[in-house]
Amino acid sequence: MHYSTKIAAILLVFFCTSFQNIQPVTENNSPGYKLKTVVIDAGHGGHDHGCSGSKSKEKNVALSISLKLGALIEKNFPDVKVIYTRKTDIFLELHERAAVANKANADLFICIHCNANPSSSPYGTETYVMGLHKTAANLGVAQRENDVILLEDNYEQHYDGFDPNDAASHIMFSLFQHAYMDQSILFAAKCEEQFKKTGRHSRGVKQAGFLVLWKTGMPSVLIETGFLTNVKDEKFLASEDGQINMSENIYRAFKEYKYEMENAGGKVDAKKIEEAEKQMNKEEQIISENNQKEEFVNGLEFYVQYYASEIELKISDKKFTSLKNENISYVKDNKWYKYRTGPYSTLDIATQKQSSVRKAGYKDAFVIAYQNGKKIPVDEARLLQPK
């Protein structure tokens, strides 16, 4: 054996043994915090399929990744109690999922979902913490995930009158998770970091008002593991390899998070949070810029016209409060001032918007279309859209 190789081997043995010796002492030094219980929540289930791809359903992908993740934690951390909100294909209400975590006094709550978009181009992962959405896209994800309460009985009673279709409703509960924000962001950042490391496209750590995270009394995240509406993402998420990859990534994030938190007595390093938050804001800015650069194919633009007036009203007018998260503008058409939300790049998106604008109190709202700035009939615009 070469001399320097020998030294390297001795050093390696030394480091390995000293690491083994040090570790228990470090743990004993921080008796304050121990990650003992984790709740894994596979999104949707039963008659709630979640979103769908061409052949896969969100409820099945989420369950498979959740079970694999739980098995990894159980195997490697026998001291950690793993609780699943569901292990089979059953329907659970959102408040029941949060109640499982609260009742177990869990130290971490991980919700696993898949994303969807009217366009097939978006792909990649997003990890959400509870908070106020900074972009319309984030609000859209939360609205879609919160929509499932419409399948529940008595949902008005369970969520304090929350209306998933009302953008304003998504502002009211932004502060409940505040006490656990730092830990949630830290864990979320670790998940996204792992996804990136194994070649996934990380869309970053984000914030929005998810009902399932609303009243949980512990650090909580919701992971959108990819877009089932994107061909490549769906192929990956529907495959055994893809599901194993995702569960291993979340497991590695869990392991790192547990280790860091236990060694710091449950406190989060302020510097790490600052880094994660900076990253978060940067990602948000990029996404919102990208949204503004939405592609308008064939010069087509769609709007939802919801109001007309002979008097000019400002878009900040109190009348329009229920639409304050929408992009509002108005045009003068003869003697009328016409108010609309948009523009949207496809008729599909505009039609979805039409229903949320109607629910926001403008029951007669309707879709209008323009081509290269000139108003055209919607039916004509429909035919001009790329197939």
Residues that bind Zn ion (CB under 5 A): 43, 50, 113, 145
Per-residue CA distances from 104 to 35, 71, 81, 109 (Å): 13, 18, 10, 10
User: How far apart (Å, rounded) are the C-alpha atoms in residues 154 and 149?
Assistant: 9
Q: Nearer Cβ to Zn ion, position 126 or 326?
A: 126
Tokens encoding 149: 């309460």
Shortest-Cβ-distance residue relative to Zn ion: 113
The vertex-186 CA angle with 183 and 192, nearest 5°, equals: 140
* Cβ proximity to Zn ion, 43 vs 53, nearer residue: 43
**113 or 133: CB nearest Zn ion:** 113
Q: How near is the Cβ of 58 to Zn ion at its closest, in Å?
A: 5
Closest approach, Cβ 208 to Zn ion, in A, equals 12
Question: Which amino acid does the sequence have at 31?
Answer: P
Residue 43 CB, shortest distance to Zn ion, in Å, is: 4
Minimum distance of Zn ion from residue 174's CB (angstroms): 20
Shortest CB 48 distance to Zn ion, Å: 9
Residues constituting the chain: 387
Which of residues 66 and 345 has its CB atom nearest to Zn ion in the complex?
66
Nearby residues of 27 by Cβ (< 8 Å), 6 or more positions away: 262, 263
Closest CB to Zn ion among 200 and 258?
A: 200
- Least distance between Zn ion and beta carbon 211 (Å): 11
Residue 338 near residue 356 (C-beta atoms within 8 A): no
Our CB check for Zn ion shows the closer of 227 and 307 to be: 227
**Taking the complex as a whole, how short is the minimal distance between the CB of residue 113 and Zn ion, in angstroms?**
3
50/343 with CB nearer Zn ion: 50
Residue 63 CA to residue 226 CA, distance in Å, equals 14
Rounded-to-integer distance, Cα 383 and Cα 387, Å? 9
Q: Measured from the CB atom, is 107 or 145 closer to Zn ion? A: 145
Measured between alpha carbons, how far is 59 from 52 in angstroms, rounded to an integer? 9
Beta bridge partners of 206: 128
367 closest CA partner among 303, 299, 297: 303
Q: Min. distance of Cβ 104 from Zn ion in angstroms?
A: 22
